[in-house]
A and B are shown apart, each in its own frame.
Chain A
Amino acid sequence: MPHELILLKNMSQPGYTGSLADYERAGGYQAIRKVLGKMPPGDVTDLVKRSGLRGRGGAGFPTGVKWSFIPKDHPGPRYLCCNADESEPGTFKDRQLMERDPHQMIEGMIIASYAIGVRIAYIYIRGEFVMGAKILERALAEAYKAGYLGENILGTGFAVDIYVHRGAGAYICGEETALLESLEGKRGLPRTKPPFPATNGLFNKPTVVNNVETLANLPYIVNRGVEWFMAIGNPPKSTGTRVFCLSGHIKRPGNYEVPMGITFREMIYDIAGGMRGDKPLKAFIPGGASASFFTSQHLDVKMDFESVAQAGSMLGSGGVTVMEEGTCMVWAAENLLHFFNHESCGKCTPCREGSSWLLQILRRIEHGKGKMEDLGTLARLCPNIAGRTVCAFGDAEIAPILSTLQYFRDEYETHVREQRCPFRRAPAPDLIAVGHG
């Protein structure tokens, strides 16, 4: 079925550069004309609430509701942070949105700032995105020059400044309270909640943190209305499109924008061309490295928040990683645990120590030194990590293990019984544990 592109539409036009002129020609910066000075800020929040827009960063929290938690009578400054830290393995949509069409996200930030009453907003972009940061700086300069940023925007008296703030290499800074700590110039350790950022956020002031893709949706909701947006996807809980990131053993990897609610089968086989080499699909991750693995039996699950959650995983950040028959699941889990072990911030003991133990056990099994009781140890360790940490990282790190143990237990047992990885032809060079920080 044909889908209307929204966020990826401009950039899919030949010759579109993402410049201010291109964006304006495509209808850009019309939404702020309808909002600034024309709508009371509370009405903008209400509009976003009614649209059903949910956060595209991972947690899927309703955006308008998040905004409405900002205390209305707070006298001091409030802040907006755009979360452009995109570091969930398997996710690469925000980079495309920022680098190919930066102004739609900036316009979204202006709308959000107006709704919340923000004077200074920050874009927290991961340190590796040097190109993205340069493109955003250029786009911001264009927007200032055109009078869309700074003082008295479009003569309405509304003012907002946006600054780009680069991270420096830490996955956890995508967690919103860790992001705030990092922006304040500290180690990126997640904060204990409550209090929530809506009351005690950046510099201890009321703060909203929204993902790039979430913000990019705002101009379109303003321009085309709540009814239009509500009709896309799988309403009422999953409205709008998602930009899904397809990677792994797939013929046409890349970002695809589709209405939420199509099935994984349609996405993988009809839209992304099916499996590379036409091998059977063995497993896939439906929503970034923090999401539990699915298998071929889940191909008809719908790609919306509720359906994926009901099937035992999460839609998360939209990163879909596909693995063909012949891929070792113990190896895959070990690879992901290496990631989680490396990126655990170290604040909470169950996560810090647990990720290291889990990795050691998986490595032992994968490298032919496992014992049968290791499987029981894994199953016992995991629930002692999940739910016992300040942030959701603890729940994330056990997802690859518990789900592969659930669906591919025989594979773990074969590793232990044969004291080798049945999928490896020769000892491979290790993708080894290296952090240089």
Chain B
Amino acid sequence: MLIEPYKDRIAEILGRYPEKRAALLPLLWLAQETQGYVSEEAMREIAGLLDLTPPQVFETVTFYSMYNLRPIGRFHIQVCRSLMCALVGAENLLSWIDAKLGLKTGGTTPDRMFSLHQVECLASCGTGPMMQINDEYYERLTQAKVNRILDDLRRDGKSDLASGPFMFPEPSNKSSESSCRTN
């Protein structure tokens, strides 16, 4: 099921490495890309391709936080919770998402459109608070921006508020009132 339609891509991936097992992460990405998550069936197929046992594949998958072992919402919201974003309002960002979608960390909306997780630093510390939704970064967020992004995604499947290549931070002359951690 994974192998047949992607024969050429799989061959290209295998060609990059002198040892087969090195293709494991790229093949798991391919599986997740096509199915939205890494199914048990995909893990078995990949194990067969790479001369590994299914447990060898499973033990590797579970080490990495980005592989989903079960289907999740169409849009996977990942909010950076690390200190740099927390200093500039990561907690606010979570409450804005909750206010808009009634969605808490670890949850999925009943229509299976949105799932929410908190994650560690996404290397976007100059433009916090920020979140990643599927492949896109959304930075320097405000409540109004978050509302628009979530509306856009629900309606159009994409939002033009997604960052392009590295977003240059803008001067922040806001007073510290937007911070959740100051008096």
Interface residues of B in 114-163 (CB under 8 A from A): 117-128, 132, 135-137, 163
Which residue of B28, B123, B135 contacts A86 across the interface (Cβ within 8 Å)?
B123
A86: nearest residue on chain B (CB-CB)? B123
Q: How far is the CB of A23 from chain B (nearest CB, A)?
A: 14
Say yes or no: A131-B66 contact (C-beta < 8 A), given A254-B126, A279-B176, A321-B83: no
Name which residue of chain B comes closest to A346, CB basis: B63
Of the candidates A99, A187, A248, the one whose C-beta lies within 8 Å of that of B166 is A99
Distance in angstroms between the alpha carbons of A435 and B120 in the assembled complex: 9
Interface residue from A165, A187, A326 paired with B60 (Cβ < 8 Å): A187
Task: Decide if B62 is an interface residue (CB 8 Å cutoff).
Answer: yes
Write out the residue numbers on chain A whose beta carbons fall within 8 Å of the beta carbon of B163. Answer: 131
Contact with A along B154-183 (1 / 0, CB 8 A): 000000000111101101111110011111
Looking at the assembled complex, report how far the CB atom of A322 sits from the nearest CB atom of chain B, in whole angstroms. 8
CA distance A274 to B67 in the complex (A): 40
CB atoms of B87 and A429 under 8 A apart: no
Tell me which of B87, B105, B123 has the highest count of chain A C-beta atoms within 10 A of its own C-beta: B123
A277 vs B182: C-alpha distance when bound (angstroms): 11
Give the residues in chain B near A169, CB-CB below 8 Å. Answer: 64-67, 119
Contacts of A423 in B (CB 8 A): 181-183
Q: Indicate if the CB atoms of B122 and A276 lie closer than 8 Å.
A: no
Determine if B19 and A184 form an interchain contact, defined as CB atoms under 8 angstroms apart. Answer: yes
Residues of chain B touching chain A, judged by Cβ–Cβ distance below 8 Å, are: 16, 18-19, 21-26, 28-29, 50, 59-60, 62-68, 81-84, 86-88, 90-91, 94-95, 105-106, 117-128, 132, 135-137, 163-166, 168-169, 171-176, 179-183
A contacts, CB < 8 Å to B: 18, 77, 86-92, 94-96, 99-100, 120, 126-131, 135, 163, 165-171, 182-188, 203, 245-255, 273, 276-277, 279, 289, 319, 321, 323-324, 326-328, 331-332, 335-336, 338-339, 342-343, 345, 423, 425, 428-429, 431-432, 434-437
Closest 7 CB pairs of A and B: A185-B24, A169-B65, A169-B66, A168-B64, A247-B125, A89-B121, A185-B21
User: What are 18 residue pairs bridging A and B, where the CB atoms are less than 8 Å apart in the complex?
Assistant: A92-B123, A92-B125, A95-B124, A168-B66, A182-B25, A247-B126, A248-B88, A253-B126, A254-B126, A254-B168, A254-B169, A276-B176, A324-B182, A327-B87, A339-B82, A339-B83, A423-B182, A434-B105
